[in-house]
Chain A
Amino acid sequence: NAGVTQTPKFQVLKTGQSMTLQCAQDMNHEYMSWYRQDPGMGLRLIHYSVGAGITDQGEVPNGYNVSRSTTEDFPLRLLSAAPSQTSVYFCASSRRVGSNNEQFFGPGTRLTVL
Protein backbone atom coordinates (compact mmCIF):
# COMPACT_ATOMS: atom_id res chain seq x y z
CA ASN A 1 0.00 0.00 0.00
CA ALA A 2 1.17 3.51 -0.80
CA GLY A 3 -0.88 4.87 2.12
CA VAL A 4 -1.74 8.57 1.78
CA THR A 5 -0.11 10.37 -1.14
CA GLN A 6 -0.04 14.10 -1.84
CA THR A 7 1.01 16.10 -4.88
CA PRO A 8 2.79 18.37 -5.46
CA LYS A 9 5.45 18.40 -2.70
CA PHE A 10 6.29 22.04 -3.29
CA GLN A 11 4.41 24.86 -5.02
CA VAL A 12 4.91 28.58 -5.48
CA LEU A 13 1.93 30.70 -6.50
CA LYS A 14 1.33 34.35 -7.14
CA THR A 15 -1.45 36.17 -5.32
CA GLY A 16 -4.77 35.55 -7.05
CA GLN A 17 -3.80 32.32 -8.77
CA SER A 18 -5.81 29.17 -8.22
CA MET A 19 -4.63 25.61 -7.80
CA THR A 20 -5.63 22.17 -6.55
CA LEU A 21 -3.68 20.13 -4.02
CA GLN A 22 -4.18 16.45 -4.65
CA CYS A 23 -4.65 13.78 -1.98
CA ALA A 24 -5.29 10.07 -2.47
CA GLN A 25 -5.38 7.04 -0.19
CA ASP A 26 -5.47 3.35 -1.03
CA MET A 27 -6.58 2.00 2.36
CA ASN A 28 -10.34 2.28 1.68
CA HIS A 29 -10.69 4.71 4.57
CA GLU A 30 -14.04 6.45 4.92
CA TYR A 31 -12.73 9.58 6.66
CA MET A 32 -10.39 12.10 5.03
CA SER A 33 -9.30 15.54 6.17
CA TRP A 34 -7.08 18.49 5.31
CA TYR A 35 -4.94 20.40 7.81
CA ARG A 36 -2.59 23.32 7.55
CA GLN A 37 0.52 23.63 9.70
CA ASP A 38 1.82 27.02 10.71
CA PRO A 39 4.67 27.77 13.16
CA GLY A 40 3.52 27.82 16.78
CA MET A 41 -0.06 26.90 15.89
CA GLY A 42 0.04 23.15 15.45
CA LEU A 43 -2.21 21.70 12.79
CA ARG A 44 -5.58 23.28 12.12
CA LEU A 45 -8.42 21.54 10.34
CA ILE A 46 -9.53 23.07 7.04
CA HIS A 47 -12.17 20.64 5.72
CA TYR A 48 -13.02 17.03 6.31
CA SER A 49 -15.16 14.28 4.81
CA VAL A 50 -16.86 11.29 6.40
CA GLY A 51 -17.53 9.58 3.07
CA ALA A 52 -17.93 10.08 -0.67
CA GLY A 53 -20.25 12.99 -1.38
CA ILE A 54 -20.11 14.32 2.20
CA THR A 55 -17.87 17.18 3.31
CA ASP A 56 -17.88 19.67 6.15
CA GLN A 57 -15.93 22.71 7.29
CA GLY A 58 -13.25 22.66 9.91
CA GLU A 59 -11.67 25.45 11.92
CA VAL A 60 -10.17 27.48 9.03
CA PRO A 61 -12.20 26.84 5.83
CA ASN A 62 -12.21 30.30 4.25
CA GLY A 63 -10.51 30.45 0.85
CA TYR A 64 -10.60 26.68 0.32
CA ASN A 65 -13.02 24.32 -1.41
CA VAL A 66 -13.22 20.54 -1.31
CA SER A 67 -15.25 17.78 -2.89
CA ARG A 68 -15.24 14.01 -2.45
CA SER A 69 -16.51 12.18 -5.51
CA THR A 70 -14.70 8.90 -4.68
CA THR A 71 -13.55 7.17 -1.51
CA GLU A 72 -9.91 7.41 -2.61
CA ASP A 73 -9.52 11.09 -3.53
CA PHE A 74 -9.99 14.32 -1.61
CA PRO A 75 -8.61 17.36 -3.49
CA LEU A 76 -8.25 20.77 -1.87
CA ARG A 77 -8.82 23.80 -4.10
CA LEU A 78 -7.47 27.28 -3.48
CA LEU A 79 -9.77 29.63 -5.34
CA SER A 80 -7.67 32.82 -5.27
CA ALA A 81 -4.40 32.37 -3.41
CA ALA A 82 -3.36 34.88 -0.76
CA PRO A 83 -0.05 35.26 1.12
CA SER A 84 -1.88 34.19 4.31
CA GLN A 85 -2.29 30.75 2.72
CA THR A 86 1.46 30.19 2.73
CA SER A 87 1.72 27.05 4.83
CA VAL A 88 2.38 23.33 4.85
CA TYR A 89 -0.71 21.31 4.00
CA PHE A 90 -1.32 17.78 5.22
CA CYS A 91 -3.97 15.33 4.13
CA ALA A 92 -5.01 12.50 6.44
CA SER A 93 -7.35 9.51 6.41
CA SER A 94 -8.84 7.11 8.93
CA ARG A 95 -11.27 4.23 9.16
CA ARG A 96 -14.80 4.81 10.37
CA VAL A 97 -14.95 1.69 12.51
CA GLY A 98 -12.30 0.22 14.79
CA SER A 99 -9.66 2.91 14.38
CA ASN A 100 -10.21 4.87 17.61
CA ASN A 101 -9.87 7.87 15.31
CA GLU A 102 -6.19 7.20 14.53
CA GLN A 103 -5.31 9.15 11.40
CA PHE A 104 -2.69 8.40 8.74
CA PHE A 105 -0.94 11.40 7.23
CA GLY A 106 0.50 12.16 3.83
CA PRO A 107 3.99 13.69 3.40
CA GLY A 108 2.65 17.24 3.00
CA THR A 109 2.65 20.01 0.39
CA ARG A 110 4.69 23.13 1.10
CA LEU A 111 2.91 26.11 -0.49
CA THR A 112 4.32 29.60 -0.85
CA VAL A 113 2.12 32.45 -2.07
CA LEU A 114 3.98 35.55 -3.22
Chain B
Amino acid sequence: GDSVTQMEGPVTLSEEAFLTINCTYTATGYPSLFWYVQYPGEGLQLLLKATKADDKGSNKGFEATYRKETTSFHLEKGSVQVSDSAVYFCALGGGTSYGKLTFGQGTILTVHP
Protein backbone atom coordinates (compact mmCIF):
# COMPACT_ATOMS: atom_id res chain seq x y z
CA GLY B 1 0.00 0.00 0.00
CA ASP B 2 0.88 3.67 -0.09
CA SER B 3 3.21 5.02 2.59
CA VAL B 4 5.05 8.22 3.50
CA THR B 5 8.18 8.50 5.61
CA GLN B 6 9.35 11.79 7.11
CA MET B 7 12.64 12.55 8.81
CA GLU B 8 12.72 12.08 12.54
CA GLY B 9 12.11 15.17 14.61
CA PRO B 10 11.87 17.43 16.39
CA VAL B 11 13.92 20.03 14.52
CA THR B 12 15.22 23.10 16.34
CA LEU B 13 16.74 26.00 14.41
CA SER B 14 17.80 29.58 14.93
CA GLU B 15 16.05 32.34 13.02
CA GLU B 16 17.36 32.79 9.45
CA ALA B 17 18.76 29.23 9.32
CA PHE B 18 18.19 26.94 6.32
CA LEU B 19 15.52 24.28 6.70
CA THR B 20 15.22 20.87 5.10
CA ILE B 21 12.63 18.28 6.10
CA ASN B 22 13.02 15.02 4.21
CA CYS B 23 10.05 13.11 2.86
CA THR B 24 10.04 9.90 0.81
CA TYR B 25 7.06 7.92 -0.41
CA THR B 26 5.93 4.58 -1.78
CA ALA B 27 2.89 4.56 -4.04
CA THR B 28 1.32 2.90 -7.04
CA GLY B 29 0.08 4.98 -9.92
CA TYR B 30 0.78 8.70 -10.15
CA PRO B 31 -0.02 10.37 -6.83
CA SER B 32 -0.09 14.04 -5.96
CA LEU B 33 2.19 15.15 -3.12
CA PHE B 34 1.45 17.69 -0.43
CA TRP B 35 2.95 19.48 2.53
CA TYR B 36 0.49 20.51 5.22
CA VAL B 37 1.32 22.71 8.21
CA GLN B 38 -0.33 22.72 11.64
CA TYR B 39 0.25 25.75 13.84
CA PRO B 40 -0.20 25.32 17.61
CA GLY B 41 -3.82 24.70 18.55
CA GLU B 42 -5.05 24.79 14.96
CA GLY B 43 -6.10 22.42 12.18
CA LEU B 44 -4.13 21.53 9.05
CA GLN B 45 -3.51 24.01 6.27
CA LEU B 46 -2.17 23.21 2.85
CA LEU B 47 1.32 24.68 2.49
CA LEU B 48 2.17 23.54 -1.04
CA LYS B 49 1.54 20.76 -3.52
CA ALA B 50 2.88 19.12 -6.67
CA THR B 51 0.83 16.95 -8.98
CA LYS B 52 3.37 15.38 -11.33
CA ALA B 53 7.04 14.50 -11.59
CA ASP B 54 9.47 17.45 -11.62
CA ASP B 55 6.77 19.89 -10.49
CA LYS B 56 7.92 22.38 -7.86
CA GLY B 57 5.42 23.55 -5.27
CA SER B 58 6.12 26.83 -3.48
CA ASN B 59 4.43 29.06 -0.92
CA LYS B 60 5.53 31.51 1.82
CA GLY B 61 9.21 30.91 0.95
CA PHE B 62 8.90 27.12 1.24
CA GLU B 63 9.63 24.89 -1.74
CA ALA B 64 9.47 21.19 -2.57
CA THR B 65 10.15 19.33 -5.83
CA TYR B 66 8.40 16.11 -6.85
CA ARG B 67 11.26 13.69 -7.62
CA LYS B 68 9.93 10.48 -9.11
CA GLU B 69 13.38 8.93 -9.59
CA THR B 70 14.15 9.18 -5.86
CA THR B 71 10.48 9.02 -4.70
CA SER B 72 11.06 12.15 -2.63
CA PHE B 73 9.38 15.48 -1.87
CA HIS B 74 11.73 17.27 0.52
CA LEU B 75 10.60 20.58 2.05
CA GLU B 76 13.09 23.49 2.06
CA LYS B 77 13.19 27.11 3.16
CA GLY B 78 16.19 29.36 2.87
CA SER B 79 15.63 31.48 5.98
CA VAL B 80 13.19 30.40 8.68
CA GLN B 81 11.35 32.72 11.03
CA VAL B 82 10.00 32.24 14.54
CA SER B 83 6.51 32.27 13.02
CA ASP B 84 7.37 29.09 11.04
CA SER B 85 7.33 27.07 14.27
CA ALA B 86 4.72 24.38 13.64
CA VAL B 87 4.23 20.72 12.78
CA TYR B 88 4.81 19.84 9.12
CA PHE B 89 3.19 16.84 7.45
CA CYS B 90 4.09 15.28 4.13
CA ALA B 91 1.18 13.49 2.43
CA LEU B 92 0.25 11.77 -0.79
CA GLY B 93 -3.08 11.31 -2.48
CA GLY B 94 -4.60 10.31 -5.77
CA GLY B 95 -2.97 7.53 -7.72
CA THR B 96 -5.08 4.58 -6.63
CA SER B 97 -6.31 6.36 -3.46
CA TYR B 98 -8.86 9.01 -4.38
CA GLY B 99 -10.71 10.85 -1.64
CA LYS B 100 -8.11 10.20 1.04
CA LEU B 101 -4.56 11.08 1.96
CA THR B 102 -1.71 9.05 3.39
CA PHE B 103 0.37 11.05 5.87
CA GLY B 104 3.88 10.91 7.24
CA GLN B 105 4.28 11.03 11.00
CA GLY B 106 4.88 14.78 11.12
CA THR B 107 7.95 16.86 12.01
CA ILE B 108 7.88 19.39 14.81
CA LEU B 109 9.83 22.53 13.92
CA THR B 110 10.83 25.05 16.57
CA VAL B 111 12.59 28.26 15.54
CA HIS B 112 14.34 30.35 18.20
CA PRO B 113 15.07 34.10 17.87
A90 to B101, CA, bound (A): 12
Inter-chain contact count A-B, CB under 8 Å?
A: 70
Q: Judging by beta carbons under 8 Å apart, are B99 and A48 in contact? A: yes
B95's closest neighbor in chain A, by CB? A101
Q: Judging by beta carbons under 8 Å apart, are B34 and A31 in contact? A: no
Task: Flag whether B51 is at the interface (Cβ < 8 A).
Answer: yes
Describe B's contact surface by its main secondary structure: strand
Interface size on A, residues (CB 8 A): 28
Q: Judging by beta carbons under 8 Å apart, are A100 and B51 in contact? A: yes
A38 to B106, CA, bound (A): 10
Which residues from chain B contact A33 at a C-beta distance below 8 Å? Answer: 99-101
B54 to chain A, nearest CB (A): 15
Digitize B56-92: 1 where CB-to-A-CB distance is under 8 Å, 0 elsewhere. 0000000000000000000000000000000001010
Q: With A105-B43, A106-B43 as known contacts, state yes or no: A42 contacts B99, CB within 8 Å.
A: no
